Amino acid sequence: MIYIADTHTLLWFLSEDNQLSIRSKQIFEKVESGDGIMVIPTIVLAELMALCERKSCKEIYRRIIEKISEGENYNAYALDLNVVKAAENLTSLKDIHDRMIAATAQILEAPIITRDRIIKKHKVDIIW
């Protein structure tokens, strides 16, 4: 199965933060064991980079880049014209990052691993 990672859930998993729900943690662990694919929109990578620079967690950012580079169970998904076009229909999402993440989820027909209450109200599957 394919899953979409939201910025904070990805950070919480990699930093072993207890803010991550049990269900979300189980999905990340499934992906780690080779059972599933975690897709990370490039907008999430950019947001994670900025967040890690502010919070001094650059090692976490490097780890996810490494996982994507290895190309096994983590894949980056480009912010391309198709994503932007899909986002046109998500006008009720005001945050541009959330909008692009939700558009990616719609294109891939995959659930987003997120606790974001605003995204939960829109036309995408959410796992928390």
* CA trace torsion 30, 31, 35, 38 (10° rounding): 140
pLDDT tens-place string over residues 1-36:
999 999 999 999 999 999 999 999 999 999 999 999
Q: Is 0.85 surpassed by the pTM of this model?
A: yes
CATH number of 64's domain:
3.40.50.1010
Q: Tell me the residue range of the domain where 113 lies.
A: 2-127
Both tokens of 102, joined, read: 């939700």
Structurally, the chain folds into a number of domains equal to: 1
Q: Which residues pair with 113 in a beta bridge?
A: 5, 127
Sheet holding 126-127, edge to edge: 74-77, 37-41, 2-5, 112-113, 126-127
Query: Does residue 123 have a pLDDT over 80?
Result: no
